[in-house]
Structure 1
Amino acid sequence: MIDIVVAVCSTSPQLAGILLLDLPNVVLTDLRAEGGELRGVIHVEASGAQCPACGTWSARVHGNYTRSVNDLPTVGRRTILTVRVRRFVCEAKQCPRRTFAEQVPGLTRRHSRWSERLRSTVATIGLALAGRAGARLCAALGIKSCRSTVLRRVGELPDPAPSDPRVVGVDEYAQRKGHVYGTVLVDVETHRPVDLLPNREASTVAEWLSERPGIEVVCRDRATFYAEAATVGAPQAVQVADRWHLWHNLTQTVERCVSRHSACIRAALSTTDVPAPSGSDADSSNDQEQVSPWPTGHRFADRVRATHAAVHELLAAGHSQRAIARHLGMGGKTVARYARAATPEALFSGQWQNRPSKLDPFKAHLRQRWADGATNAWALWKEIGALGYAGGYGAVRDHLRTMRTVPQAVALKPPSPRRVSGWITTRPEMLPEPHRRRLQAILAHCPELTALVEHVGTFADMLTTLQGERLGQWLVDVRGDDLPSLHNFAAGLERDLAAVTAGLTLPWNSGVVEGHVNRIKMLKRQMYGRAGFHLLRKRVLLA
């Protein structure tokens, strides 16, 4: 490769400004391309430097040396800057350091081989993509860095300045689902996370709240430990119960109420216009059984019908009975019997006759049990055996086989309590017409569920129109109906009445907090196996 040497002096100040971002008192004296890398030489023109230990300014030079600093890639090439560093003597007698090396502000720091802007760029990539993905992007940009280095750059970032929000949202997040939980606190007005706590203990949250006396509103769910923390740590703040959690708790209560009235759902379904099983097909099958015990599909009947048709076809063609016997390989008397029979059914004799069976007294019972839904032949055989049937299993099986071919009406399956509760908690104008009709049929058979629908509608109107002053009358109305599950829900609201009333009155809610909980899940998945609390906190607060 051909080496390119560029002398940068007063004739090319623009190139030096682009490369060094116009750093004060820094001069680029040489720049060359070597083996896919850009190497530059810079030095500082300042008259002196400030001691990092005592802050004394010194212009007395003790010596100098060179150090190499990796900088941001330039036009896709790795850039290495060689800095001529001077070492100064600290003239303060009380200073513990006798000499110190100068640093280039905005470019170098002590014991670092990376420039400040390179460190900042890698930290920004780490905040957005974490370790592995961040290392891959760094490689594509020409920055040599492994995933651990990317995460270290994120960990070195300073914490954001502490803030004192006026409206704060509190919720839990899972560090390890089912085992370890933490707390996320969000400024509801700016929609930015304020802090991340390592646990969800009431004492920890209360201590954090007590350090910020400017908090006026605390948005939370209905967890008791957050209610206790807000009461102890921020007694001056108004606690607001989240409306989504209130509605979610109500839907769970509605489902329990509907489960208690499953019999009403089945009764309503039985009286609706559902196609009932018709007995015409079964009756026709029984008639066919009385007229012809061997219907189409039985091997003996089919064979007789085929032979009868063949014999009469040959007779119509003018063949003699002897010729037909030779052609079909049958005896002469057999051919004559087929020739005399006008229909195949006239040949059904002997064992094919409709003789009485041991099963006849039990066929009515079998048909009734079949209509009830019992279709297992072995179980029915055992059942009629207990009633006195002495026959074998095969007769029961063959009898039920004829019934399996009869089309059966499909009965509607009763809707599940969750499905009915979904109908109840859906806006009436948004409910499809078939579901609305089925819900009306259920309510017509159950006055308790009718009262439940009225209470749910009233609560939904309070929640959507922010009319929390109606909550007291709603609780009184609920107590007047026989709905134990809804009574338990009302008792829970009364234990947290102030926060619930505020949640149904004020415009604040915990929706933005739930969004950040979902974001934390995404960040955890990015850092699978490396998501310690301190690193996770950095990414949540700074990303």
Structure 2
Amino acid sequence: MARRFICDATFCRRRIFAERFEDGVVAERSRHTSRLECIVHHLGLALGGRPAASFAKRLMVPVSNDTLLRVVRRRACLRTDTLKVVGVDDWAWRRNHRYGTIVCDLERRRIVTLLPDREIATVEAWLADHPQIAIVSRDRGGGYGEATARALPNAVQVADRWHLMENASAAFLDAVRKSMRTIRAAIGATTINPDLLTYAEKLQYEGYLRREETNAAIMKLAGEGIPIKEIVRRTGHSRKLVRQVIRGQRTDIFRVRQSSLEAWLPFLDGQWVSGCHNASELWRRLKTKGFRGRLGVVSEWARRRRRAEQASDQQLHKVPSARTIARLMTTARDHLSKADTVMIAAVEAGVPMLVEARNLVAGFHSMIRKKLDDDLELWIAAASRSLVASFANGIVRDHAAVRAAITEPWSNGQTEGQITKLKLVKRQMYGRGKIDLLQARLIGAA
């Protein structure tokens, strides 16, 4: 396309030279026009390497996947906008092993840069290069608060609201777990009759009883004022286990496993009451109704039903899990069944400190939703004397950022959305894209 010329000057070092075009038509030494390279660039941004090369071939623009990625990298440009409000969060190169950091411009809703790790020194160095930043939204982990305090001591730090609400709910769940012994006593759970258990459930129940004996022995020694080190020496258990038992973090609950017959129990009960006690016949009738389970499941139910009728009127009482109890306690009574309402009423009457913890968590959620921080100090004082004291202590350590999360309009929600986009691009490249290519595709596509 470009014409070539020969220089006949004797002392000219360049014998052959090519015709030059106007800016925006063909770049120097380029084999593509600027318009074609722009098309190739956008294909690479949208699809990556091989998918874009395949699509370009169908567009009659044959280009290799390496060229596509090379163009994406070459045309990458970092943001030079003046930053005032940024969001900082971590993202996983490989979950539980290696993490990076993403920085977003919350005002323009764009990714600013990607950092290769989440070390305090790395984040601090980047923030120090941008002293004009006035507000930093971040979560409460990863050392981002410390890095911001070092690099930008005058910047306002804002804790992520979603994580605050999630941490409050997790604190209430932890309080329920620590109160499970008291909850079981309040509910009035009956003693399990081993005669009504299957062989596998008997093995699980025996292990549960052994763990309960261990817990009782440790709690008895702790009640006598014996230190943890001496309890470890006497019982032979690990220091970690002893500490968990004393702190109420080891909550073992025996529950009968779920069965595929749960949805069919009303039909089976009706057939049994009508006189059909043969497991094979019950199974055949279930099959006509659409049941897809095996005969053995129905046979096991029939055996257990016969044992229950031969034994006392005692029934297997399913103790709800701590997570279920926490969910039911935080659900409006109008949305609960009659049985659940009775159970939760018993829990509230038997464990009043759980009611206090629930009300405190609900009050904290309300403060965040209504953006009212007037009662934050009173809330911290009350929570410090409750079952969610550990959560309250965390709020005290990050007091300024939590207060800003309640009052400021900024949060890390859009940063989490950009991380979702980053995950999509990273998985498109099967996790093999390096940080420069990830950054080029994410920033270039904005």
TM-score relative to the length of structure 2: 0.69
Residues 326-382 of structure 1: CA distance to partner in whole angstroms, max 9, x if unpaired? xxxxxxxxxxxxxxxxxxxxxxxxxxxxxxxxxxxxxxxxxx995774666xx9xxx
Q: CA deviation at 1:89?
A: 9.6
CA 1:198/1:88 → structure 2, altered by over 3 Å: closer, same or farther?
Answer: farther
Residues 221 and 241 of structure 1 are in contact (CA less than 8 Å); yes or no, is this contact kept in structure 2?
yes
- Whether the 8 Å CA contact 1:467–1:505 is kept in 2: the answer is yes
Q: What amino acid does structure 1 have at the position aligned with 2:145?
A: A
The amino acid that maps onto 1:158 is: A
**Residue 412 to residue 102, structure 1, CA distance change in 2 (3 Å):** farther
| SS of residue in 1 equivalent to 2:26 | coil
Quote the offset at 1:415 in angstroms.
1.6
- Mapped partners of 1:117, 1:504: distance in 2: 49
Out of 124, 139, 142, the position equivalent to 2:60 is 142
Q: Which amino acid aligns with 2:147?
A: A
Runs of 4 or more above 6 Å deviation: 87-90, 95-99
Report the aligned-residue RMSD: 3.2
Identity %: 36
CA distance in 2, matches of 1:254, 1:530: 40
In structure 2, the CA distance between the partners of 1:410 and 1:146, relative to structure 1 (3 Å rule), is farther
Q: 1:496 to 1:370 in 2, by over 3 A?
A: closer
Partner of 1:417: 322
Kindly state the Cα deviation for residue 148 of structure 1 after the two structures are TM-superposed: 2.0
2:102 to 171, 184, 187: 184
The residue type paired with residue 159 of structure 2 is: A
1:151 aligns with 2:69: yes
User: In the alignment, which of 409, 413, 432 is matched to residue 507 of structure 1?
Assistant: 409
Pair 1:465 & 2:382 matched = no
In 1, the alpha carbon distance for the partners of 2:93 and 2:315 equals 50
- Counterpart CA distance in 2 for 1:470 and 1:118 is 61
Map 1:14-25 → 2, pairs under 5 A: none
1:84 and 2:3 aligned: yes
Q: How does 1:57-96 map to 2 (within 5 A)?
A: 82-86=1-5
Cα distance, 1:163–1:97 mapped onto 2, change above 3 Å: farther
Q: Deviations over 1:400-429 (max 9, x none)?
A: 997466597754422211122233455x37
Question: Distance between the aligned counterparts of 2:151 and 2:192, measured in 1?
Answer: 68
The question of whether the paired residues in 1 share the 8 Å contact of 2:195 and 2:307 is answered with no
1:156 deviation in Å? Answer: 1.3
d(CA) in 1 for partners of 2:131, 2:307: 80
Number of residue pairs matched by the alignment? 340
Who wins on radius of gyration, i.e. which is larger? 1
Which amino acid in structure 2 is aligned with residue 122 of structure 1? V
Residues 496 and 404 (structure 1 numbering): CA distance in 2 closer, same or farther, change over 3 Å? closer
In 1, Cα distance between equivalents of 2:165 and 2:363: 12
CA distance in 1, matches of 2:13, 2:334: 78
2:354 matched to 1:449?
A: yes
Flag the structure with more relative contact order, 1 or 2, with Cα contacts below 8 A and sequence separation at least 6: 2
- Measured after TM superposition, the shift of residue 190 of structure 1 is 1.6
Cα separation, 1, equivalents of 2:24 and 2:81: 27
- Structure 1 stretches of 5 or more lacking a match? 1-81, 277-367, 380-399
Check 1:538–1:263 CA distance in 2 against 1; reply closer, same or farther (3 A cut). Answer: same
CA pair 445-114 structure 1, distance change in 2 beyond 3 A = same
Superposition pairs for residues 3-18 of structure 1, below 5 Å? none
Distance 1:206 1:134 in 2: 37
* Structure 1 equivalent of residue 129 of structure 2: 211
Q: Distance in 2 between matches of 1:498 and 1:413?
A: 45
CA distance in 1, matches of 2:310, 2:8: 108
| Aligned counterparts, 1:109-120, within 5 A | 109-120=27-38
Q: Distance in 1 between matches of 2:25 and 2:198?
A: 85
What CA distance in whole angstroms lies between the structure 2 residues aligned with 1:88 and 1:155?
Answer: 36
